[in-house]
Amino acid sequence: MIGTSSDQAVAVPVHPLVELDRVHREVYLDEQVYQQELRRIFARTWIYVGHESEVARAGDYKSTFIGTQPVILSRDEDGTLHVLLNRCTHRAATVCQAAAGNSSYFRCEYHGWTFRNDGRLVAPTFSSGYDKADFDPTDFALGRVPRVDSHRGLVFASLAAEGESLREHLGRAAEFIDLAVDLAPAGEIRLGAGSHKYAYDGNWKLQSENGVDGYHPNFVHSAFLETSGLGGSIFGPGSSGRAGALGRGHGILDFRSVMAPMIRAKLETPPGAAALARLAERLGEERATEVLLANGTQGFNLLVFPNLQIIGCQIRVIHPRRVGYSEVELYPYLLDGVTEEENSARLRTHEAFYGPSGGGGPDDVEMFDRVGVGLAAEGVEWLPFLRGLRREEVDGEARWGHVTDEQPQRGFYRRWLELMGDRP
């Protein structure tokens, strides 16, 4: 039964800087809060570290971060995936400098210690200096992230040895990941088209909030939306699109109802009918139609708490480098089982809006920088998330509102409170 949020009173932990409908400016500025986020969120939840296609062959690896901790996603010669701490067990230098590559070994350039791609230490250099009574190579393997799991090719890792499973963590976000991946006739996506990165002088949460904020596009991206003719239909007051908090901090902008008439019209064309038939071979016609209406590239924006977003045809990863500095990586993904021309069209669509000279991505970075400057003003201490508060609908763990409402942001901070609240 769907009811209004005012019908239900749900107890949540308390924190002096975050309430259910507003956050204090210090939540973006305070170094102690930032360090607590690294320990209580990034070190305890499941964090996306890469896609299986990035480490498809034995010896493939990718270096990345969990919070600020450097890690290596690697596949050993037996085909097993590992997430290793990128830190030599001798004097702490990183052992992998490249963003990606293929190697059976990682070598620390400081003192020459060499490790297998499963983390085992081969031997210390000049090993005669180590007595067996003092030194056992098995004690000096690279640190290993204790839990690694994947969903539809997306690899997540958790620095916590115990806790909820990945499937529990994903909750209702999993169904939207499935919609995106199922658009591939072969049932798999792959990252092989490269990536681009940008940085901004601001807190990491600004990007997590913004990717599922349907209130800003008509203003921040007005030039692009006016030329495309999509602004009012998707993000205007009369839009049938929805904003949702899916539970567990995950958020969604759901445009499927807006895009459905256009997609259905395309399915009536010979190319559209062929695409439906191709997808129906694996999924059946009902599911294939559902997936095509979701569209994979325009159907929704998904936030997987805390720092992963699937938007358009990209996987976006937000890295908290410092309390006031963040880096973002965008990986456009390709569909297995479609033509090269179709994948090329996806890349061009991605570049047009999200690329370095695109019509949308640079706009957001400008806003993040402006927010960073504005947060220095001490006269106004709180940032409100009040839009749609009195008209949201509750559906189990999820809460829904108009596409311009702030359900995703309130849902994000509800989970933030669960992990950060009621603690010194």
The Cα-based distances of 389 to 196, 254, 399, 410 in angstroms read 36, 18, 10, 9
Q: What is the pLDDT of residue 270?
A: 94
Domain ranges of the chain: 3-42+171-420, 47-158
Residues paired with 102 in a beta bridge: 60
- Dig out the tokens for 23 from the structure: 């956050």
CATH architecture of the domain formed by 3-42+171-420: Alpha-Beta Complex (3.90)
CA distance linking residue 117 with residue 59, whole number of Å: 7
In this prediction, what percent of the chain has a pLDDT beyond 70? 96
Q: Which residue has the higher pLDDT, 128 or 25?
A: 25
Q: What is the pLDDT of residues 58-95, one digit of tens each?
A: 999 999 999 999 999 999 999 999 999 999 999 999 99
**pLDDT tier, 384 (very low <50, low <70, confident <90, very high otherwise):** very high
Q: What is the pLDDT of residue 232?
A: 65
Q: What is the pLDDT of residues 306-322, one digit of tens each?
A: 999 999 899 999 999 99
Q: What is the pLDDT of residue 231?
A: 57
Residues 47-158: name the CATH superfamily: Rieske [2Fe-2S] iron-sulphur domain (2.102.10.10)
> What is the residue-averaged pLDDT of the chain?
93
Q: What is the pLDDT of residue 422?
A: 75
What is the SS3 string spanning 314-377?
EEEEEEEEECCEEEEEEEECEECCCCHHHHHHHHHHHHHHHCCCCCCHHHHHHHHHHHHHHCCC
Q: What is the pLDDT of residue 8?
A: 47
Strand order in the sheet with 69-75: 81-85, 69-75, 60-66, 100-102
Residues paired with 395 in a beta bridge: 398
CA distance linking residue 345 with residue 343, whole number of Å: 5
Q: What is the pLDDT of residues 213-262, one digit of tens each?
A: 999 999 999 888 877 766 567 888 999 999 999 999 999 999 999 989 98
With 90 as the cut, is the pLDDT of residue 3 above it? no
The Cα-based distances of 165 to 21, 109, 168, 252, 389 in angstroms read 29, 37, 5, 22, 31
Q: Which residue has the higher pLDDT, 226 or 330?
A: 330
Q: What is the pLDDT of residue 295?
A: 77
